[in-house]
Every structure is written in C-alpha cells, then in structure tokens.
C-alpha cells in the first residue's frame, strides 16, 4: 500500500515542503491528480496558517487524520471533475495543558478552519491535543485510527512514542463501539428530523443519504470492535465482516454485511443523493430498525443486561457508563447541563448515560405511541420545551460525543 499505511517506513514522513511539492502519499484511492494536488495545496495552507497562530516553540506537530489521512478519502465525481467530500481532520499537537491551549487557540483555529473551508470546498476541523495527552489517554477508537493511519505535515513518528496501547485493535473497549453508535445514530436522528420537515431540499436529501450511509458503516464497525476484529482501513473491515468472525448466532448478520458493504462503498465513492423523500424514508426505516437491533445486542453484551426493547433499555437504571470517577462525573454533568446538574438525581454518573437514554427514546420510541416518553426525554436532557427536544438533544450531545 501507500506510505500512509506503512507507518514503519519513516522515510515516508518528509518535511512539509517536500510533501507538498512531491507527494509520496495519497489522500484517496482513486482520485484524479488534480484532486490530489488540490488537497496537498490545502494542507500547505493549513501548515502556514497554523504557524501564524501557534508559536514555533509550542507547536509539537501537525497531522492529517480521518479518511484522507489514511489514504481512503471520499472522491465525489462531478461534471467538473473529482471533488473532495468528507471533512478534513487535522490534529494539532501543542505543548502544555490541553485545557489552556483550547482557551488560547481554539477561537483562532476555528476562524482559520472557516476561511480554509471556503478554499477547500469541504469542512475543515482542528483538534488540539498533545503528545503527552496521547500517551496518558486510555485507549480509544479516535486515537487508534489516528496513529494507524495519518499524514504528517509537521513532526514525525517520535510523537507517538509510548503510545503502543492505542495500536492494538483487539483491546479497543466495548464502550468505544457504543460511543461510535451514539454518534452515528445521532446523525440518523437528525436525518429523520430533516425528513419530517415541511420543506425538503436537495441539500436535505444529501444530508439524509450521507448520515444513513455513515450509520450503515458504523453498525458493522461496532460488531467488529465487539469481536476484537476492528481495523483502521474501511476496506479491510469490509473484508473481515464478510468472513465468519465468530460462531455466535446472529440472525441479522447477513443484513448487517449488506449494509456495511454499502457504507464502505459510499465512504470511498460518495454521491449526492437523488432519491425522493419517500425513497429516503424507506431506506431510513430499514437502517434504523437494524440499528436498534445492533444497539440492543451491543449494550446487553457490554453491560451484562437483558434489555429486549428500546423502551426497556431507556428505563433500565443500570449504570450505562460505569468505571468513571464520580467526582469528575459531577463536573462533566455541569459542563453538559449547567450548574443545576448538581441538584439532579444520578449526577455522580457520567452525563453520557442521559444522552444514551434520550437518543434511544427519540429515535426508537415514537412519541405518539408512548406520550410519556416525551416527558422522560425532557427529564433526561433537563429540557423545558418539549417542542424543541431535537435542538436540546443536539446541543447536549455535542458536549459529550
């Protein structure tokens, strides 16, 4: 494969000037030379912009992660030629305390991202971290994907010294699979919200189609995590899911494989949906139903419970995010829900528990068939306006994802 995938090949990580002028790695599998050059030009502008914001003595490194960093970025084929489609995710390694660096640089980086998004034609995102934080953080899916597939704009593999715990896919915690599904099923919820609007535009169809495809991919990925078979490459994950990974009986596995294959295809060769609202609604219902099945299977496995329905899961008082510090959880609840969170029940539990309960109720327990579920969502989100539950959920979810 390309140098993006062969992290042992240190010669692949050349200084940024060489990388831009004569790329040794690719951002996509099948994109045109023009697209590759465009993405390389954006990276060059990112490197220059970061240098104007963060002092040289503070900046440890700068890496492109995500699909384009792994060489599997989406290629949108248009009449004007190949175009990028997925977001560009940059990890900015800054020496010092992460919370202080966030306060000091986040606003300027956000402004830079907005400016360069206009140039790139896609969204840019900057994530501030540090080599020390990477080493000290418990194993998680985001850091695994970053370390196993990335492109350096500044820095080299030495920044990942003593980060071996992030490399082993077999030991990625089950909670990371739940976190992945929480995020992708939230996108599914927002897609349904678009489908239910009075006016449905072409941009809405693209949003709905994209989030359905992301969920299709995530469902298979979550099952692979559960069986210790996850891989950073979506193509390899597709191959692994197509082969028997377990003797466990899963009646829905063939349906899962079919949808995961569609998710892989969309990730590599995305397209703007031309389906009608009714067609997208049918696709949404099919994927949403499978998502609920996988969700309950995963959560019963992770938590050692036996929830048979979405309503049963949401009403269960089992601790849904265990092994966390109760005092830190109190602070986290304040960050997500505000100071009144100190007075609510279960404030010693992680706020993600409330988000999980609210998501399951909003997505899979119709309010018209269970009016009390609306009140339960309000209580979980500490929301005061039932008509604005989706915006309330989006705001609180964004603080815990």
Tell me the C-alpha distance between 86 and 196, whole Å. Answer: 25
Q: Is 168 exposed, middle or buried (0-12, 13-18, 19+ CB in 10 A)?
A: exposed
**What is the band of 18 on the pLDDT scale with cuts at 50, 70, 90?**
very low
Report the C-alpha gap between 111 and 99 in whole angstroms: 19
Give pLDDT, residue 24. 59
Report the pLDDT value the prediction gives residue 244, as an integer from 0 to 100: 66
For the residues 361-375, what does the mean pLDDT come to?
85
The better pLDDT of the pair 189, 3 is held by 189
Residue 304 pLDDT: 96
**91-114, pLDDT tens digit by residue?**
999 999 988 999 999 999 999 999
Specify the higher pLDDT residue, 214 or 242.
214
- What pTM did the predictor assign? 0.90
Report d(CA 352, CA 373) in Å as an integer: 18
Residue with the larger pLDDT of the pair 331 and 25: 331
- From 175-179, 220-224, 360-364, 372-376, the region with the lowest mean pLDDT: 372-376
pLDDT in tens, 168-195: 999 999 999 999 999 999 999 999 999 9
- CA neighbor of 151 nearest in space, from 215, 88, 107: 88
Quote the pLDDT of residue 22: 42
pLDDT in tens, 237-277: 999 998 865 667 899 999 999 999 999 999 999 999 989 99
Quick one: pLDDT at residue 243?
81
pLDDT at position 247? 61
- Could you tell me the domains of the chain? 10-167 (3.30.460.10), 170-304 (1.20.120), 306-401 (no CATH)
Percent of the chain clearing pLDDT 90 (strictly above):
85
pLDDT score for 249: 83
Q: What is the pLDDT averaged over residues 72-99?
A: 95
Q: What is the per-residue pLDDT for 90?
A: 98
């Amino acid at each position: 494969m390309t140098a993006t995938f062969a992290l042992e090949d240190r010669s692949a990580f050349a200084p940024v000037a060489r990388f831009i002028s004569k790329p040794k790695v690719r951002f996509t599998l099948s994109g045109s030379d023009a697209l590759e050059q465009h993405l390389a030009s954006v990276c060059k502008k990112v490197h220059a912009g970061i240098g104007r914001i963060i002092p040289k003595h503070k900046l440890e490194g700068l890496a492109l992660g995500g699909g384009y960093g792994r060489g599997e970025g989406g290629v949108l084929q248009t009449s004007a030629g190949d175009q990028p489609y997925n977001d560009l995710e940059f990890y900015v390694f800054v020496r010092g305390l992460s919370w202080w660096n966030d306060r000091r640089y986040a606003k300027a980086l956000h402004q830079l991202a907005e400016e360069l998004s206009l140039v790139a034609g896609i969204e840019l995102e900057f994530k501030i971290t540090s080599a020390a934080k990477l080493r000290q953080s418990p194993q998680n899916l985001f850091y695994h994907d970053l370390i196993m597939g990335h492109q350096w704009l500044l820095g080299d593999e030495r920044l990942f010294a003593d980060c071996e715990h992030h490399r082993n896919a077999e030991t990625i915690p089950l909670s990371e699979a739940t976190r992945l599904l929480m995020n992708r099923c939230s996108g599914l919820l927002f897609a349904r919200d678009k489908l239910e609007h009075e006016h449905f535009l072409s941009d809405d169809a693209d949003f709905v189609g994209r989030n359905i495809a992301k969920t299709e991919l995530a469902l298979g990925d979550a099952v692979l995590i559960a069986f210790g078979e996850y891989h950073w490459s979506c193509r390899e994950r597709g191959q692994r899911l197509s082969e028997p990974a377990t003797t466990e009986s899963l009646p829905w596995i063939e349906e899962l494989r079919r949808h995961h294959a569609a998710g892989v295809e969309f990730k590599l060769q995305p397209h703007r949906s031309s389906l009608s609202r009714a067609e997208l609604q049918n696709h949404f219902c099919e994927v949403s139903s499978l998502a609920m099945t996988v969700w309950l299977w995963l959560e019963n496995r992770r938590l050692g419970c036996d929830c048979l329905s979405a309503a049963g899961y949401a009403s269960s008082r089992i601790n849904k995010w265990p092994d966390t510090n109760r005092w830190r959880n109190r602070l986290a609840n304040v960050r997500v829900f505000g100071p009144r969170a100190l007075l609510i029940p279960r404030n010693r539990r992680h706020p993600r528990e409330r988000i999980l309960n609210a998501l399951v109720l909003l997505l899979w327990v119709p309010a018209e068939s269970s009016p009390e579920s609306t009140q339960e969502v309000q209580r979980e989100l500490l929301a005061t306006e039932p008509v604005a539950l989706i915006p309330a959920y989006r705001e609180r979810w964004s603080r815990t994802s």
